[in-house]
Amino acid sequence: MAQTVSVAGKDGSFSAYVARPQTPNGAAIVVIQEIFGVNQVMRDTADWLASEGYYAICPDLFWRIQPGIDITDRSEEEWQKAFSYYRAFNVDTGIDDIAATLSLARQNGARKVGAVGYCLGGLLAYLTLTRTDADASVSYYGVGIDSYLSEAARARARGLLHIAEEDGFVSKDSQARMAAELTPPAFTLYTYPGRDHAFARKGGAHYHAEDAALANARTLAFFRSELT
């Protein structure tokens, strides 16, 4: 069952898409958006996690820019809008909103709460580990993580990162620095040879069904381990 709820944040209230599981497993996952807002891809992701038993909640992190942004990656005009939202976005206040969403999930009875993020959300998923009390977090092709590697030692839980080897937004040098700094047991990194950015975005230009399925299976196994 899906619905929209209100989250009380430090700077005001904002909306979040919620997918409730038919058979709850007692855990929750915060789904962290790409630069296209809480669009169908993000709602489908929340629905997928709900089908696996998780209370899934996807907050509108662009609400300070414009509430309710919901665009696709299908036109140049939408891409330009998405990049303008990305440039206007404040990472620090975004993490505040994620922390508030984690808190709401716990208030609703979740015994443990994880996070999963994509693209911009992949960066935020990493920072969720270092700046919040999340119990686990998964990052898909996070952009800009190498600028925050000094925070790695502050991780309060385990993290999983999916890296696209040919990511047009993450250089090979950045990937190498991430691999050197984000090491077990706190971090597990998987690299997908030949894959470009957003290889798990179904319908996207770089979507790769086999590797998306592999990454998603690894994500579910990780959450089953960390959120039980």
Q: Which residue has the tokens 């580990």?
A: 129
Dist CA 38 CA 157 (whole Å): 26
135, 196, 197, 211: the active-site residue: 197
The whole-number pLDDT of residue 78 equals 97
For residue range 64-91, list pLDDT tens digits in order.
Answer: 999 999 999 999 999 999 999 999 999 9
Residue 2 has pLDDT above 80, yes or no: no
Q: CB–CB of 58/47 below 8 Å? A: no
- The predicted model scores a pTM of 0.97
| Mean pLDDT score across all residues of the chain | 97
SS3 call for 220: helix
For 36-56, write each residue's pLDDT tens digit: 999 999 999 999 999 999 999
User: Is 197 part of the annotated catalytic residue set?
Assistant: yes
* Residue of 167, 196, 208, 211 marked active site: 167
pLDDT digits (tens, 9 = 90+) for 153-194: 999 999 999 999 999 999 999 999 999 999 999 999 999 999
Domains and CATH numbers, the chain: 2-226 (3.40.50.1820)
What was the pLDDT predicted at 6?
97
**DSSP per residue, 164-219:** ETT-TTS-HHHHHHHHHHS-TTTEEEEEETT--TTTTSTTSTT--HHHHHHHHHHH
Quote the distance between the C-alpha of residue 39 and its chain's center: 13
pLDDT, residue 61, reads 98
Categorize the per-residue pLDDT at 132 as very low, low, confident or very high, splitting at 50, 70 and 90: very high
Cα 74 from chain centroid?
A: 21
Measured CA to CA, the distance from residue 154 to residue 128 in angstroms comes to 10
Specify whether 162 is catalytic: no
